[in-house]
Amino acid sequence: MKKPVQVLSPEFKKKVLNYFEKGHTAKEISLELNSEYRKETGKDLTRNACIGIKFRSGKCQAMSRLDKSAHDEPPEGFKRKVCLKCLHEKWIEDYNRICFECKQTVDWKAGATVEHGVTSLGRNTSRYV
């Protein structure tokens, strides 16, 4: 079985950015590209995902400027929060507790998987019997 692709292709990101450039809203883009996104990731393309792609494409300069100043206008759908992994204050999507950089790292994904495995094993071995 083929696993769903976790990282979006540059082509797809480019497509999202093109829509933004044409003046479409994140909501419109998410509806337009949802079926394609599902094929790539197995998940639904949310409005916030579109905003995230746009925001991250703002290049590192814009990013570091935002990170330094908490008074800048927040990107739509993002809030100023302390990331639970790297403990830096960053712009993080409303529903997330972890910054995008941390979410993208392989370490984080591996860690989450291992943690889950340990939990299930712990239950199965029933140490308390």
Interface positions with Zn ion (CB under 5 A): 83, 85-86, 99, 102
Three-state DSSP class for 91?
strand
Measured from the CB atom, is 54 or 103 closer to Zn ion? 103
Measured from the CB atom, is 19 or 100 closer to Zn ion? 100
The least distance separating Zn ion from the CB of residue 91, rounded to whole angstroms, comes to: 11
The least distance separating Zn ion from the CB of residue 9, rounded to whole angstroms, comes to: 24
Q: In 10 A of CB 86, how many CB atoms?
A: 14
Angle at 20 between CA 100 and CA 22, to 5 degrees: 170
The least distance separating Zn ion from the CB of residue 88, rounded to whole angstroms, comes to: 6
Distance CA 108, CA 105 (A): 5
